[in-house]
Amino acid sequence: MHADALAQYLHDHIPLSRAMAVTVQTVEPDTVVLAAPLAPNINHRDTVFGGSASAVAILAAWSLLHTRLRREGLASRLVIQRNQMEYLQPIVGDFSAQATLDADTPWPGFVRMLARKGKARATVRAVLRCQGLVVGELVGEFVALDVGG
């Protein structure tokens, strides 16, 4: 799935992504990078609202798994089970979230588990950056449920 197709998918199926003006910068097998501007995500302190930062990080992590599953031809329902968000400093401008699989989630094992049990779990990390600085990090646990097809 290329960047334009992923952006369209997100905007069509997750309307919040459109309201937040999320764009897709990179879609590669091992990473997805999403970006969002400050203006639609601003809070009363002229920084990014924490919920927006978390939402973009979750979207990036979810998008990484979504694109990998589609590449494998696996139809599944992908949901977040839990996450931990760390805010390292205020986000004062446009920002991005770069998602990668956690080292404890080997992809071949994830795919085998999904095929064998109809359910698999993966941990994804998303690093938030603004103006070249790391400003936050999300660790999210996702569950893929086989829907056939």
The backbone region for 87, taken as left when phi is positive above 0, alpha when psi lies in -120 to 50, beta otherwise, is: beta
Cα–chain center distance at 38:
18
Note the pLDDT tens digit of each residue in 47-106.
Answer: 999 999 999 999 999 999 999 999 989 889 999 999 999 999 999 999 999 999 988 889
140 closest CA partner among 87, 79, 91: 79
What is the pTM for the complete model shown?
0.95
Least confident of 5-9, 72-76, 110-114, 136-140: 72-76
pLDDT surpassing 60 at residue 149: no
pLDDT the model gives residue 55: 98
14: containing domain: 3-146
Q: What CATH number is given to the structural domain containing 12?
A: 3.10.129.10
Please list, residue by residue across 69-92, b when 16 or more beta carbons sit within 10 angstroms of its beta carbon and e when fewer do: beeeebebebeeeebebeeeeebe
State the pLDDT confidence band at 145, using cuts at 50, 70 and 90: very high
Segment 7-55, tens digit of pLDDT: 999 999 999 999 999 999 999 999 999 999 999 999 999 999 999 999 9
* pLDDT at 148 > cutoff 70: no
pLDDT value at residue 14 = 96
The predicted structure's pLDDT at residue 103: 84
- Total count of domains within the chain: 1
